[in-house]
Structure 1
Amino acid sequence: MKPELKHFFDGMGAYLAKPGTASLEQLYARHPGWDAPARRVSIYGDFVRGHVRGAVEKLYPLLRRAVGPEAWTSLVEGYTLTRPARHHEVNRLGESFPAFIADSLVSHGLPPHAAELARFEWTDFAVFSSQSPSPARVEALTPNPTLAVLEHTFRLCAHVRSRGEGGAPERGEELALLWRHPVDLVTYYQEATPPTLLVLKMAVEGLSASDVTAATGMPEADVLDAVARLSRDGLVLTPGG
């Protein structure tokens, strides 16, 4: 990029982060002779800020409820100042919001689970929109290629499933699994359980049900039942499934 264009876009980015009469005047002062109508530039600035606000409100509804309207407004304003409106895809304007929330926990007096909840909500969307294709056929038990794993210090799977109706989530270590169902094409999620992790281990290491039974003593029928259940949920893919 030419130096003069970089200077222009840096100045425009500073204006878009915080539009207003003063910043608009500063923008024009930095670019003498620029004759774009000020009213049009102002409307554009409002559009960009609206896109950022709309993206985070859409992506983080549970977080918005958890922090309350006053803190939410302050967070969105603060996040906009970080100039997130750089990606051509609108939803990606909210990608950095979980990191911003993590940095804002103390300064904004946020609930302790806010950062983990933001990360969960972004992962929900990222899994849903993942470009990882699900193969039409597999030759062996295979993990879903969209699988994402999150470690929590709160029981967020139950909290998200209840849409936050029960108040703050319970504290407790949790390993959350999120994946896109290969047929339904929506994000599924659950707390990892020993049978779930066992089936995933089978898929990753190429173990058979009889291998698992020999190593653990778990009845082979129970192993096969767990594989069938998780195959229906789309967490693992099976030959002919």
Structure 2
Amino acid sequence: MHLIALQDALQAYLTGESNHPPSELLEQLQGSAALGAADGLRIYHNAYRTRLLAVLREDFPALQQWLGVESFEQLALAYLSAWPPRHFSLRWLGEKLPEFIAGYVSEPQLSPLRELATLEWAFTLAFDARDADPLSAASMSSFSAKDWIDLTAALVPSANWLQLQYNTLELWKATKEGEPLPPLTRLPDECSCLVWRHDLLCRYRSLEPDEATALRSFAAGESFAGLCESLFARYAEQAPMQAAVWLRQWVSEGLLTRT
């Protein structure tokens, strides 16, 4: 058997579901008195899955705590069977898990499970998203009047919007702090949540509807002057002040880059 064929056969065995090594692979390997070829291959087969399961546990700790170790492992193994690794980096292993849950679980568990998985994956995305120079208070201190009027910005690349229907943030925070999970509850209204990275730390917070609408508009290309105008109907003469308050917070949180 040529080397490339041997490599392909070994990969097919390691990524397959059965831990029984095929005869054509065993014929190419020589065991030792202490460890036969079949047992050695089974060790590699089990170690491969153990590593994949460990990655999913690290990326979705709240999901595991909610489901329990056994049920989470069943979900993870079914997911790996449907979506085996397709990238050289294990960082992308859990990318399709929220999507997979939609076809694996039925309601009433489906929606909250998928929402929790989506939130946890957002933190993974934020952690190693590409860097960008955020808009800073120092750079804005030299703005001219025209700079303020024409100012446009976008969210930093690490930012992810989520619309939460359940107390998913509470579940995630309880897991993070090593506390028992609170009962699952549905929120009276959808909650806008942002997850992003700033100063090498992943951050998150929920936004009230008015702020969420303003930030979406501003990050979509609306100028600061346009933002003030759009807030006038609700805030009247206080619109510029409200826009300035929000802008100062967004800048201090490292949420924006200038466009």
The 5-angstrom pairing of residues 209-220 of structure 1 reads 210-214=228-232, 216-218=234-236, 219=238, 220=240
The residue aligned with 1:226 is 246
Sort the Cα spacing of 1:193 and 1:9 in 2 relative to 1 into closer, same or farther, 3 A: farther
Task: State the Cα RMSD in Å.
Answer: 3.4
Contact map agreement 1:85 1:93 (CA 8 A) in 2: yes
Contact map agreement 2:192 2:209 (CA 8 A) in 1: no
The residue aligned with 2:34 is none
The residue aligned with 1:126 is 125
Contact map agreement 1:104 1:110 (CA 8 A) in 2: no
Sort the Cα spacing of 1:195 and 1:83 in 2 relative to 1 into closer, same or farther, 3 A: closer
Structure 2 residue runs of 5 or longer lacking an equivalent are: 31-36, 140-146
Is 1:99 aligned to residue 99 of structure 2? yes
Sort the Cα spacing of 1:87 and 1:159 in 2 relative to 1 into closer, same or farther, 3 A: same
SS in 1 for 2:194: strand
Contact map agreement 1:51 1:90 (CA 8 A) in 2: no
The 5-angstrom pairing of residues 20-59 of structure 1 reads 20-21=19-20, 24=21, 27-29=22-24, 33-35=27-29, 37-59=37-59
Distance 2:26 2:69 in 1: 41
Could you tell me the percent identity over the aligned residues? 16
Contact map agreement 1:174 1:192 (CA 8 A) in 2: no
Is 1:147 aligned to residue 164 of structure 2? no
Q: Give the aligned residue type for 1:35.
A: L
Q: Which has the larger radius of gyration?
A: 2
Q: How many residues align?
A: 229
Distance 2:168 2:65 in 1: 15
How far off its partner does 1:110 sit? 4.4
Q: Give the aligned residue type for 1:92.
A: W
Structure 1 residue runs of 5 or longer lacking an equivalent are: none
- Residues 176-198 of structure 1: per-residue CA shift (max 9 Å, x gap): 43342332432324245312321
The runs of at least 4 consecutive aligned structure 1 residues that moved more than 6 Å come to none
Of 182, 186, 205, the residue aligned with 2:222 is: 205
The residue aligned with 1:235 is 255
Sort the Cα spacing of 1:93 and 1:207 in 2 relative to 1 into closer, same or farther, 3 A: same
Contact map agreement 1:57 1:64 (CA 8 A) in 2: yes
Q: Give the aligned residue type for 2:155.
A: N
How far off its partner does 1:199 sit? 3.2
More relative contact order, 1 or 2 (CA 8 Å, 6+ apart): 2
How far off its partner does 1:119 sit? 1.5
**What is the TM-score with the length of structure 2 in the denominator?**
0.72
